[in-house]
Structure 1
Amino acid sequence: MLITAINTVEIDAAQGRVGEVCSILPHIVRELLTNSECIGYAITDNRRAKNSWIVSGYWESESQMRAHFDHPQLAGFIDMLRAGMASRIKFNTFIINPAEEQRRVPHG
């Protein structure tokens, strides 16, 4: 299984809210793993910033990743921001091999 696309969410905890962010992130990731076609999801410490994490999703195709962006559990990240648990959230996507996606689409 090749990884063709990656999405990341960088989360910075608001001052005094680290414990809440630490408790909610695994729940969001479990839901995303259970209810999507991703190859895997991971939470890692952001070594460039204190009290910051990077959640990464790995995808076999760009189309699977893009369809995933409609998943209701992704709102959990925005809810952390609205509730004041996070001071910053940044979403990123990376396409590793766009030609791979094109090879999978049958030409008529």
Structure 2
Amino acid sequence: MFNKAINTVEVQAVAGRSDELGKQLQKIVETLRELPGCESYMVDRCPEDSNRWTVSAHWQSEAAMQSHFNNPRAQGFIDLIDCQLASAVDFNSFPIR
């Protein structure tokens, strides 16, 4: 039976805006880690590609993760493209035992 869940977001910075993107990702994560059921939410810069960032979240349940996807604060990831900080945003999620 799957009880917990993880979601990741891979974000590619627009050239020359990686540091600014990292700061914005931290702001987004600070608000999302307060959501019910969130065990952790982290931002990491890829050591091999300074323009690539990974955001990962661990959830107490799949239901908590799904609720997070419907929260307006999660829209902040899509807004990164609109404000031209990110050139690509890839979402992944999966249950864990």
Q: Which residue of 2 aligns with 1:11?
A: 11
RMSD: 1.8
Alignment partner, residue 66 of structure 1: 66
Give the deviation of 1:48 after TM superposition. 4.8
TM-score, L = length of structure 1: 0.80
Unaligned runs of 5+ in 2: none
Partner residue, 1:32: 32
Task: Give the number of the structure whose alpha-carbon radius of gyration is greater.
Answer: 1
Counterpart in the other structure of 1:46: 46
Give the fraction of aligned pairs with identical amino acids, expressed as a percent.
Answer: 39
Where does structure 1 lack aligned partners over 5 or more consecutive residues? 98-108
- Describe the shift of the 1:71–1:20 C-alpha distance in structure 2 as closer, same or farther (beyond 3 A): same
Counterpart code for 2:25: L
Which amino acid counterpart does residue 75 of structure 2 have in structure 1?
Answer: A
Equivalent residues, number: 96
User: Where is the strand percentage greater, Structure 1 or Structure 2?
Assistant: 2
Matched residue, 2:22: 22
1:51: Cα distance to partner?
A: 1.2
Task: In structure 1, give the amino acid aligned to 2:57.
Answer: G
Structure 1 distance, partners of 2:8, 2:27, is: 16
Structure-2-length-normalised TM-score: 0.88
1:29-61 deviation digits (Å, cap 9, x = unpaired): 000012332011011122453311111010111
